[in-house]
Structures are given as C-alpha cells and as structure tokens.
Chains A and B, each alone.
Chain A
Amino acid sequence: MRAAALLLAVALAATVRSATAAPAPLSSLDVQPLPNDSGQHLHVTWTRTAAPAPGTATVILRARPGAATPDLAPGRKLTAGDALGPWTVVGVLEAGELDLTDEIEADTSYLYAGAEVLRAADGAITEASPVTTIGPRAAEAALFHRQRTAYLVIVLAIGLLIYWYVRAARTKKDLYIRRLPGVDAIEDSIGRSTEMGRPVLYVTGLEEIQNIQTIASLLILGYVAEKTAQYDTDLKVANYYPLTMVVAEEIVRQGYANAGRIDAYRPENVLFITAEQFAFAAGVNGIILRDRPATNIYFGTFYGESLLLAETGFLTGAVQIAGTAELTQLPFFITACDYTLIGEELYAASAYLTRDPVLLANLKAADAFKIAAMIFIVVGVALATAGVFDLGAKVFP
C-alpha cells in the first residue's frame, strides 16, 4: 500500500513537472544609451517570444566584455546586485516589465544578458530559459540637455535684454520704474525708529545663503545698514543660518563703512538665533517684545512662522515691511504688515533703492521679458483653445 502511494506521488510530480513548460527565452534584447544622459546609464529593453507563465521573472545581468554566458542553474537565488561569476544581477523583475534603466560606470562597455526564470517560493530558480546576450555597449555622455533648450533661450533672452537696456541706460539716464511704496517706506520707518529711540529689526528669512530670496534680502540689508548708520539708529539682524549671519555681518559692517560710521557698527547686533523654525520664531518674538523695535523688516523666505512674527510685531505697534516670494505666506504678511513686497518686488528692491541706471536697466529687462512671456501665453492659449497647435508642450517638453 505504502509503495503504491509512493509511486503515485512520483507519477504526480512528474506530471506537474512536464505540465510546467520551461520559460521561453527573451527576444529582441536591446541596450541603448539614454538621451541627455550623464554617461552613466543604459536603457535595457526586451520582448517576449511567448506570454510568461505565472511566477515567471525576468533576470537581467551585466558583465565586462569577455565574460562567458552566465549559468542560471536551478537552485540559485538571485536578487539585484548579486554577483554571478563575472556577471552582476542588474534586476529580477516579476511584474512583467519590458525595460529597465541600469546605472553603470562612465566610459565603460558592458555585455548584457537576460533570461526568463521560474522560481520556487524561497526564490530559488527552478527552471531557466536559454540566456540571451548582447553587447558590448557603452553609455553616451551628452554635452547639452536638449530638453532644456527652452530654458536656456529664456536665460539668454533675459541676458540679451539686460545687455540692451544697460547700453540704453548709459545714454538715457531717466529710466521710469514704477513706485514701490514698501521700499520707499524703509527710509521713513528708519527715521521713525530714530525719533522713537528704538532699534530696527531685520530678519533675513529662513533659507540658506544660496537661496535667491536670501540673496535679495542681503542686498537690501546693505542699504538698510547704511541708512541706520546715517540716522545713528541700532540695527538688529536676526539670522536663521550661521552662514547667512557671517555674510550679513560683513554686509552690515560695509553699510556702516559706506555711511562713514564704522565706529557705530556693533557686530553683536547681527545675531544667529537658531536653525529650528519655531525656536527661531520664539527667539525673534522675544527680541520684538523685549527690545520693542519701531521697525520690523522681514525680507527673504518665510514659512509657517511668518504670521507669528508679523502679528507679534503688530502688537508692539512697529512699522512692518515684509517681502517674500513665498505665495502661501504673502496673505499673512499683507494682513499683518504695513507694506508688503510681493514676489518680484523683493528682487527689484535693491536696484530700486540704489537708483543706479545700470541696475534699473536690469529691472526694465525683466519687465520687457515679462511682456514677451505674456504674449507667449496669450498666443499659446489661443492656439491651444482653437485646437491648432499646443505651443507650450512643444516648447517645454
């Protein structure tokens, strides 16, 4: 009886084994460099000769030229990154994928191999198709990112407009720039601080020195420092990052030097508060409540703490001027501050303050480009609405 059962089990196992056909090999295995690539990626594609059975996985391997065909013997467990002799497993794909992107060493050629495998529950290969190989192939490093052509054109166009307007500014001195009441109010508010005998507080925002809003803020800080030096008023500068503080220190010192009041410069007034958002807000609020500055200037990048700062300043009765390109914080500043520079006005402020024709020419160039952008948008919207041409998708793929 026991022998009969054993025979039956062996027969059943043989039937199941013969019913599970060996996977078919991959066809059309291809390896191509990616466009606009750094030269460190290859795109591997393949097709299948037959629909894969459930549980089939595709194994893709890579090796240096000269390697023998890899042996995907039953019993092996493979995962991405494993070494198989000279071959490295690039991927074991189970979801029916037909391509993958492989990250490789630059300036190196590789052979690629692919096969379909059936695996047991523990991941061990039970059956493998014949291995298909291709290569050697190498990635291509592009010298220009073609999909970014439109962005380069924008930068070059603005550059050309700046050049043109700077040339024009050298001959024609009176360039019209619309008033920026928030920037005009800076000197008035410093004067008010002087009359009240209270300091001016300047916050450089919550981003690092390489952030363009922080840079714009620091450019304005030079002017504010010069004015406070002229008015003999204390200027306190609150910084979120120490590197910003170091640069702000130098800018304030230079502002005092430009005003001929280097003796009045107090380095301890340029403060590093902390690089933690709400701890920074607490620190600056402490300064506002203890020192009662008559003017609070918030220029730079701000986040959730913007209203905490501006409302506290409002409660102390200070004149408050804010400027940021952070859309979500603008409503808070507009509500709680006396003047708010919206977006581009923050970038324009330093040029506006100096009244240097060359810098004003820069603003005119930006304005001219804005007009061009508006025309582009109107034309694009009209063409797309009429169903003639999708200009936006073509220019910015």
Chain B
Amino acid sequence: MKKTLPLLFGMVFGAYAVIEFYIPHHLVGSLSDELRSWAAILAAAAFIIGGINILQVTWPKIRRREPDWQYKVVLLAAAAVMLLAGLPWHKLGDTPATPTVLIEAVPGPAHLVVNAPADVTIQVGAVIAPPRPDGARYQADVGPGTVEVKLSRRVPGYRTQLAPITITDGQRVTVTGDPPMLWGREGRVFVWIYDHIFSPSNATMFALLAFFVASAAFRAFRARNLEAALLLGAAILMMLGRAPLGRAISDVFPDLAQWILDVPSNGGRRAIMMGAAIGAIATALRIILGIERSHLGSDA
C-alpha cells in the first residue's frame, strides 16, 4: 500500500497532465487550474518545513559550538529579522490612508494649503509641488472644483495618501498628512534590507563569476589533446571575431565567428536539445506508466 498509492497517484495525475495538453476544453482547464492551486499551496506550506529544517540543522551546531558556529547565529538572526520585517505589522494599528482635510471660509479665490514633512512629495492634480525647506507649507490658489492631493515619499515602503477634495471660491482647504511607514514585503524595513544588504551581496556573488570564468577558461584552453586544441582554436576565432582587434586585422574574423555560432555550434546545440527532449519524454512516460519505481523504495 505504501508503494501502490503513490504509484497510483503518480500515474493518474501524470497521465492527466499529458492528456490536458491535448484537450483544450475549459472544464479540463479549470480542473488544471485547481490542481495548480493545490500545488502552490503545497509549495507554500513546504517553506514552513524549510524554515524548520534550517532551525533543526543550525541550532544544534550553535549549541555544541561546532566550527564556524558564529555564521549560524548570523543566519538565524538574519532569518528572524526578515521574518519580523516581512510581517504586515501596520495592519495591527490604525495607519491613516488619507490625510486630514480642514475646510475654512476665507474670502478670496479657492486656496489650498498642504502640511507635510519636507521629504514628502506633494502632488495636486497633475502638478508636482517643488521641493520646499523643512517646516514650510505648500500653498497655492486653485481653480474651483474637485482636485486630488497625493502625498508620497520618494523612497519605497511608505503608504501613499490620497485626498480628493472639492473646493470653491471663498474657501481655504488645509490638507495635513504624513505617509505612514508600511511593514511586510512592501514595507520600508524589508525593502531597505533587500536593497541595501541583499542586493549588493547578490551582486557580489554574481560578480565573482567573472573571475571563475577566467580561471576556468585558462584551464580549458590548454591544448593537451585534439579536442582541447579544437576548443582552443574555436575560442581564439570567437574572441577575434567579437573583439575590435579581430575586425582590425581582417573582416573575415567576425563572419567566421558568426559562422561558428550559426552552423557547428547551433547544430550541436540542437542535437543536445532534441536528445534531451526525447529523454525527458521517455523519463516522464517511465514514471507515469509505473516502470520507474526506484524513488518509491520497497513495499515494506
């Protein structure tokens, strides 16, 4: 039973996934959407298990003070900080989505006053107010009618406040607001950590690739046998074809480099792709038909 049931599920859902490709009927499509939703829920739930796994793996190493245990502390602390920063704490409190609006009767044309901190961008209708010193208010005479006042911060992670106001001559409308900071994935702390710590670290790892490519190329281009010599020759031609130096020597090099890419390289790529595609179909059929059972283990 332990082996039969997973096998049966694999066969049924695997066969369904194949059949679905050939039946465009909407009923089939809606069932597929439902199954995809299940898969998404399952994958999301697995992230909780992933978090538990990280805790299970790292905590004992910290407790036993194993070598490099300090890194594990950094890992857990960073995970905890991101978890806390990623929760939408602002939903617990009352963060104003709209600024306060005060309407006063003042003789003269319709007049708008906006009170907001200096780092807040004020937009009245389609007009963006010029930067102003700290503590200064934005003031302008506006035409009678309805106008939308939008308060936002230049940096991400803050809620944008909107106030549609109707104003007539003889009125002064004072809009006072301060876009509140958000938490969660769109929140200030999360975005700041992502932009200022994660992204540079990510870019650093990616940049290392340049040095690894150089060292790998150095090894690969040593002509130890016929294949390596062919590789070296092709690489030299490609470099000459792509670098300005090659064109300066002869116009043949760019054309030759393009020919290598278009004909022998492309032919080889297509052969590998077709072989892999047929292999993938065969593997999928092997699992769907229940021929491949090694991943299921014994029926004990």
Give chain A's interface residues, CB within 8 Å of chain B.
36-40, 106, 141-145, 148, 151-152, 154-155, 158-159, 162, 166, 208, 210, 212-213, 215-216, 218-219, 222-223, 241-243, 245-246, 251, 254-255, 257-258, 267-268, 270-272, 275-279, 281-282, 286, 290, 304-305, 307-308, 310-311, 325, 327, 330, 332, 334-336, 342-348, 350-351, 354, 358-359, 362-363, 365-366, 369-370, 373
4 closest Cβ contacts across the A-B interface?
A242-B50, A344-B279, A254-B297, A347-B279
Q: How far is the CA of A257 from the CA of B295 in the complex (A)?
A: 12
The interface of chain B, by Cβ under 8 A from chain A, is: 18, 21-27, 29, 39, 42-43, 46-50, 53-54, 56-57, 60, 67-68, 71, 198, 201-202, 205-206, 208-209, 212-213, 215-217, 219-220, 269, 272-276, 278-287, 289, 291-292, 294-298, 300
Q: CB-CB < 8 A to A158: which residues of B?
A: 278, 281-282, 285
Question: A325-B280, A327-B273 given as contacts; is B291 within 8 A of A40 (CB)?
Answer: no
Who on chain A is nearest to B221 by CB? Answer: A335
Nearest Cβ in chain B — how far from A77, in angstroms? Answer: 17
CA of A242 to CA of B46, assembled, Å = 5
* 23 A-B contact pairs sorted by A residue (CB < 8 Å): A143-B25, A155-B285, A159-B289, A208-B43, A210-B39, A215-B287, A242-B48, A245-B53, A254-B298, A271-B53, A272-B49, A276-B198, A278-B201, A325-B276, A343-B273, A344-B276, A344-B278, A345-B279, A347-B279, A350-B294, A362-B291, A366-B279, A366-B282
Which residues of chain A have C-beta atoms less than 8 A from B298's C-beta?
254, 257-258
Cα distance, A87 to B275, chains bound together (Å): 53
Contacts of B50 in A (CB 8 A): 241-242, 245, 272, 275
Name the A residues within 8 Å of B49 (CB-CB).
242, 245-246, 272
Taking CB atoms, residues of chain B closer than 8 Å to A346 are 276, 279
Q: A210 CA to B42 CA in the complex, in Å? A: 12
Query: What residues of A have a CB within 8 angstroms of the CB of B209 in the complex?
Result: 304, 307-308
Whole-angstrom distance from the CB of A126 to the nearest CB of chain B? 24
How near does chain B come to A183, taking the closest CB pair, in angstroms? 14
Q: Which residues of B contact A310 (CB under 8 A)?
A: 216
**Do residues B24 and A142 form an inter-chain contact, with CB atoms below 8 A?**
yes
B283 contact set on A, CB distance < 8 A: 212, 215-216, 219, 347
A239 to B276, CA, bound (A): 23
CB within 8 Å for A268 and B56 given contacts A348-B279, A366-B279: yes
CB distance from A65 to the nearest CB of B (A): 21
Partner of A332, one of B24, B201, B216, B275: B216
User: Which residue, B22, B202, B282, B291, has most C-beta atoms of chain A within 10 A?
Assistant: B282
Chain A: which residue is nearest B71 at the CB level? A286
- With A307-B213, A348-B279 known as contacts, the answer to whether A278 contacts B202 (CB < 8 A) is yes
CA gap between A327 and B18 in the complex, in Å = 25
Chain A residues within an 8 Å CB radius of B296: 254
A311 x B216 contact (CB < 8 A): yes
Residues of B within 8 A of A286 (CB): 71
Known: A241-B46, A271-B53. A335 touches B269 (CB 8 A): no
B286–A351 touching, CB < 8 Å? yes
Q: How far is the CA of A74 from the CA of B206 in the complex (A)?
A: 59
Q: Which residue of B lies closest to A161 (CB)?
A: B282
Residues of chain A within 8 A of B57, CB atoms compared = 268, 271
The smallest C-beta distance from B50 to any residue of chain A, in angstroms, reads: 3
Whether the Cβ atoms of A38 and B24 lie closer than 8 Å is yes
Whether the Cβ atoms of B294 and A223 lie closer than 8 Å is yes
- Contact, CB under 8 Å: A365 / B43: no
Shortest beta-carbon distance, A361 to chain B, in Å? 8
* Other-chain residue from A37, A166, A277, A359 in contact with B24 (beta carbon distance below 8 A): A37
Taken together as a complex, chains A and B put the C-alpha atoms of A106 and B282 apart, in Å, by 36
Q: Contact at B289–A162, with CB atoms within 8 Å?
A: yes
The 8 Å CB contact of A335, one of B53, B220, B287, is B220
